[in-house]
Amino acid sequence: MIEISIRLNGEEVSGSVEDRLSLADFVREHRLLTGTHVGCEHGVCGACTLLLDGNPVRSCITLAAAADGCEVRTVEGYAEDPLMQAIRKAFNMRHALQCGFCTPGMLATAYDILCRCGDLDRSRIRSELAGNLCRCTGYLPIISAIEDVHAQRLARKTR
């Protein structure tokens, strides 16, 4: 067992974990934050994407022990975040979710894209989303939602 301490959604948490416990399982089973979904368990589908020190990671292949001393943000950790509120509203308006399984990972990735990429067009968004799989929406509504938020942010900057 390894003792870890992380800042999870703004709260300091600690616990003993097995050496091979994934960050996804730590968040879901030890902290009962089930918004992080586990799909492929091979780091391919992106459903388990969350932010680790501000960077998107596949939590199913990231060891909980590797997050010791880090900031972890799951889908539950954006309650008061204006950017995530805009993303969620755009996903809703564009019908960018259906079954919802990929949604937590898509939201984390969309958040990262909008924070990191200043120059966005449809092609760039597609490329940035390449690591997240969705079986329901066909991606176009997700891409459109991200475009909408990007356009809103640009409009605010030019005022």
Average pLDDT, whole number, for the chain?
95
Q: How confident is the model at residue 156 (pLDDT cuts 50, 70, 90)?
A: confident
Average pLDDT of the segment spanning 39-45: 93
Instruction: Identify the residue with better confidence: 67 or 136.
Output: 67
pLDDT at residue number 159: 65
Q: What pLDDT, in 10s, does the model give residues 53-104?
A: 999 999 999 999 999 999 999 999 999 999 999 999 999 999 999 899 999 9
HEC-encoded secondary structure of the chain: CEEEEEEECCEEEEEEECCCCEHHHHHHHHCCCCCCCCCCCCCCCCCCEEEECCEEEECCCCEHHHHCCCEEECHHHCCCCHHHHHHHHHHHHCCCCCCCCCHHHHHHHHHHHHHHCCCCCHHHHHHHCCCCCCCCCCCHHHHHHHHHHHHHHHHHHCC
Model pTM score:
0.93
